[in-house]
Amino acid sequence: MSSLPNGERAATVLSAAASLAASAMLFRTIASDLVPGEVYGYFSSTLHNIFRYLSSQHTIIIEEFKGNQGHTVNELIEAAEVYLGTKTSPAVRKLRVGKDEEEKKLAVTIDGDEEIVDVFEDVKVTWRSISRQVESLGFGNMGGEGRTFWLEDPDETVWSEERSYELSFNKKHKDKVLNSYFPYILERAKAIKEESKVVKLHAVNTHHGCWRDAIILDHPMTFQTLAMDSELKMALLEDLDNFVKGKAFYKRMGKTWRRGYLLYGPSGTGKSSLIAAMANHLNYDIYDMDLTGVRSNDDLRLLLLAMPSKAILVIEDVDCVVNLQNQEDNEEDREDREEATTGEPYNPWDEDGWVTEDEVEAENQVTLSGFLNLINGLLSCCSEEQILVFTTNHREQLDPALLRPGCIDMEIHMSYCTMSAFKQLAWNYLGLYDHPLFEQIERLMGEVKVTPAEVAGELMKSKDAGVSLQGVIEFFHKKIEQNEAKAAKDNGSTKGLENI
């Protein structure tokens, strides 16, 4: 047992290590001058392997490009940039900051030769950003797909920047870094990008049967500001959150990860506002499809296949799908009439062997059976994490096939204004939780039906709470008078017909 104090013992060890390192450097210098190259190379490699074996550190390099040609961007380096942007500290001296129109927040990354220390499940990992200039002759790649360039002079030299990262950690944690830490970074970066993504609106290009270039949906509606019955709102929020977390559930049940909602009720009850709130809550893009503008089942198939995951397909006024059923029925009637008139089975070809324009138009129309097959059939398995939203003012006109589970899983009645919805509107427009006039408004609301849109229009007329609420009360009285006058007129017409 050594009798030296701990401090002196540590100093002795450090002194010995320094002497060994100095001796090794001196040996390498002398050996490079006196020993033949082949012998020196052998001893140098052996010494390097000994030091590497004794070292407890392990290093992994993540390069910007992968593959033999080096033109495919490494997904891991992009994820690392996003992830490390959230790990910056005052110790980092140089940062890169950028933003494009598809992002809500600034994108922050560390610059070259900067270091960041991260801790994952008690494993300390040191990241170092490396940036180097690469010579490109004639043509090259400046950072991924769509950024390849060509030069008029093939002998001209261009320098481009190539990024990479070095990770250093204790070698005993190698398996955890590869099998747990890297997958965590990929998932975390994906979530960060989703949080930063802006919601977009896509519509159908009727001339080409494809989705148009998207526009940013800068709609401010959220579930916090949505004027809707509070109990129904909570039930819908719970259903949406369960859907987002339900990947394993849907897979276990053998069902496509998709959810269908029917929003029905009179105009002005907030169906469009609810769709915007759903998109903002989930951060999903909206794909607005007008079925009357889709030319055929084939076009509909291509549009559905082009929809990505994390998307909301909106089909407004779905009661028009009833007309699709009628188109099929009319086609069958036409065949029956043709056979009854000519005594021969219906032939879709005319005398000279060509299909008529009317027959071509009938072939190109979307049919109800085709629509349902695409929504519920095998094609629905080609994508996941999608939401279907159907709207209608006339639920009673819908074909029962549309209302079955798998197509529509939850029906949401967008009713006339309730008191809970009115209180939300009063808070949105006037900042009021309560007011003495609320009791009178609630009593009038039981006597006449008004839509949330009508109430909102009255609340917007004045910023003074008393004036605004009094205007709502007057609006209710006018509606009651109008309804009474209409009822009296209808009764008078009925009596006149009875006298005749």
Q: pLDDT tens for residues 167-179?
A: 889 888 889 989 9
- What pairs with residue 96 in β-bridges? 109
Backbone angles phi, psi at 307, to 5 degrees: -75, 130
Contacts of 380 (CB under 8 A, 6+ apart): 256, 258, 374
Rounded CA-CA distance 171/177 in Å is 10
Radius of gyration of the chain from Cα atoms?
A: 35
Rounded CA-CA distance 412/262 in Å is 6
Percent of the chain predicted with pLDDT > 70: 65
- The count of residues in the chain is 500
Residue 450's CB: how many other CB atoms inside 10 A?
19
Strand-pair category, 72-73 with 410-413 = unpaired
What is the Cβ-side half-sphere exposure of residue 371, based on CA atoms within 13 angstroms? 26
pLDDT (0 to 100) of residue 6: 56
What is the reported pTM?
Answer: 0.64
Q: Which domains does the chain have, with CATH numbers?
A: 23-55 (no CATH), 57-196 (no CATH), 200-413 (3.40.50.300), 419-499 (no CATH)
pLDDT (0 to 100) of residue 102: 56
Q: pLDDT tens for residues 321-347?
A: 555 554 444 444 545 544 555 555 545
Rounded CA-CA distance 356/318 in Å is 30
Cβ contact 189:82 at 8 Å = yes
Q: pLDDT tens for residues 101-125?
A: 555 566 666 666 778 888 898 889 9
Cβ contact 282:197 at 8 Å = no
79 conformational bin, left if phi > 0, alpha if psi -120 to 50, beta if neither = alpha
- Distances in whole angstroms, Cα of residue 343 to Cα of each of 336, 338, 347, 348, 412: 10, 8, 12, 15, 51
Closest C-alpha to 219, from 258, 169, 174, 275: 275
With a cut of 50, which residues of the chain have pLDDT below it? 1, 137-151, 326-332, 334, 337-338, 346, 348-363
Rounded CA-CA distance 114/413 in Å is 56
